[in-house]
Structure 1
Amino acid sequence: MHGAQNLSEFSMLMCGLLLLIPLLGIWYLKLGMVKSMLISTIRMIVQLVLVGFFLEFVFQLNNWLLNSVWFLTMITVAVLSVIKNSNLRLKHFLFPVLFSFILANFFVVLYFNYFIVNLNFILDAKYMIAIGGMILGNSLRANIVGLGDFYKSICKDEQLYFYKLSLGATRFEALRSFAKKSFTAAMSPTIASMATMGIVSLPGMMTGQILGGSVPLIAIKYQIAIMIAILASTIISISLSIIFTVGKSFNKYGVLLKSVIADK
């Protein structure tokens, strides 16, 4: 099997024309998103082109320190996005969430590379950055939902939380139902998509493998492995994020600090 067909400049121009369909739809429906979509599209193109050149250099050099630093940079950007989109205060959440993501994602990626792919060099750039990016991207989306929902639910049902404390529950016992609801909201989309993979959709990992020349059965093995890795990373990162941030988000009386929620 051959690799993916190269896309010419004309092909990319045709791709750009395809963008007119959502832009015209948004303009016609007066959704007010034309500017934001154009800005996001331009940012995506510029970032991907720059990263593409940079990754060629990283893959050629394949230095363990550079690979680790770049993956740490990816994690840091993801954490900033999680905190911002969860409407939480950066000063309260940056270091606890960053530490949670580092532990969860480095552990899962290194485990994946050593035990599943059986690499001799577990910090190999091609696997660490590509696999790590897929795991981190899905974990990011789930954490935005999970972490944001957890603290918003506490603010919304603060009286229920105080009632549980008044009955003698510890802080973690009183927060258990909020955490359960947040985990369900964060994990449900991934679990639902897993249930229809192969029938409703061909996921990105599998599609990329096939376009790259792999036989379908090998692509399927990688897709199964990456989805399980995503689940593991997501559950670990959300758990650690909640555990590590709770200590800084409540006062000594168990009351949630109002300063943890960012002003809209």
Structure 2
Amino acid sequence: MDIAWLQLGLFMLVLLIPLAIGRYFKLGLSRDMAWAVIRMTAQLVLVGLYLQYLFILDNLWVNVAWLLVMLLVGSSAIISKAKLPKKLLYLPVFSGLALGMFPILWLMLVYLLSPEPLYTAQYLIPTAGMLLGNCLSGNIVALQRLFGAFNDRKSEYQGALALGASPSQASLPFVQTAMQQAFAPILASMATMGLVTLPGMMTGQILGGVDPLIAIKYQLVISVAIFVTLSVSVSTTLVLCIRSAITETGRVRISL
């Protein structure tokens, strides 16, 4: 069933509720909320129009270029939201996302979905989008917790260095805490999936008329893929950021 544009516009009036809540509690987020909704709407409409063209064109190099754009924008968004300098951390974050996404994406396309050809945009782009989209918040949390710990637990870090630990050894407890907090939301979501939450992909397929058991299989695949991608991207990003942001003498070149 299609949704009329007028219906969609009227439904979006419910956004007045979070705006009202923000104003009541004086959160100072009204402008950010409005801008986020405007950007989301404009970007989704433009991307929807572009994907229509992309699916028809279905060119290998265009599809690969689009994946690259997704990685570049995602990396930029992570660093911006974490309020960290891009110059030092852009390459580590980009590398973490790429290393987390490409192996799992390849495995899904080759082993499970098997489109002909493999680079078919209808499968490649949405699958990559789901993997990347669910990595953003985890990486943001991990980076904030990591560099926040260097400020909050500075004496602990300096004490470890004074006792002869290398910068990577002294920062290991901070990395562990950052990873634990980054993984906590997805672990909670996975543990309650099916009982508390019905994931969007599965719900969308069921609403589209797909057999519930088939929808569940796809949801299991994408949930596992997202978790593995998040695990690899967060761990890789943190390790590379440590190498990039800390000198050989242990001086941290970034502070929140």
The one-letter amino acid of 2:151's match is C
Instruction: Please list the CA deviations of residues 148-190 of structure 1 after superposition, one character each: whole Å capped at 9, or x if unmatched.
Output: 2112112221221122222232322222211110010000000
Aligned partner of 1:249 in structure 2 is 245
Q: How big is the alpha-carbon RMSD for the aligned residues of Structure 1 and Structure 2?
A: 1.7
Query: Aligned partners of 2:77, 2:36: CA distance in 1, in Å?
Result: 14
CA drift at 1:96: 1.9
In the superposition, the TM-score normalised over structure 2's length comes to 0.93
Aligned partner of 2:69 in structure 1 is 73
Query: Aligned partners of 2:76, 2:37: CA distance in 1, in Å?
Result: 20
Percent of aligned positions that are identical: 36
Q: Is the 8 A contact 2:150 2:255 kept in 1?
A: no
After superposition, where does 1:1-264 map in structure 2 within 5 Å?
5-257=1-253, 260-261=254-255
184-193 or 32-41: bigger deviation = 32-41
The one-letter amino acid of 2:145's match is D
Q: Is the 8 A contact 1:110 1:123 kept in 2?
A: no
218-227 or 30-39: bigger deviation = 30-39
Q: Which runs of 5+ in 1 are unaligned?
A: none
The one-letter amino acid of 1:261's match is S
CA drift at 1:29: 4.0
Q: Is the 8 A contact 2:115 2:123 kept in 1?
A: no
What secondary structure, in the 3-state scheme, does the structure 2 residue paired with 1:19 have? helix
Q: Is the 8 A contact 2:151 2:255 kept in 1?
A: no
What secondary structure, in the 3-state scheme, does the structure 2 residue paired with 1:32 have? coil
Query: Aligned partners of 2:248, 2:186: CA distance in 1, in Å?
Result: 36
Q: Is the 8 A contact 2:78 2:140 kept in 1?
A: yes
What secondary structure, in the 3-state scheme, does the structure 1 residue paired with 2:27 have? coil
What secondary structure, in the 3-state scheme, does the structure 1 residue paired with 2:53 have? helix
Query: Aligned partners of 2:30, 2:232: CA distance in 1, in Å?
Result: 37
Query: Aligned partners of 2:209, 2:22: CA distance in 1, in Å?
Result: 37
In the superposition, the TM-score normalised over structure 1's length comes to 0.91
Q: Is the 8 A contact 1:100 1:240 kept in 2?
A: yes
Query: Aligned partners of 2:207, 2:133: CA distance in 1, in Å?
Result: 21
Query: Given the superposition, is the C-alpha separation of residues 30 and 256 from structure 1 closer, same or farther in structure 2, using an over 3 Å criterion?
Result: closer
Query: Aligned partners of 1:105, 1:243: CA distance in 2, in Å?
Result: 17
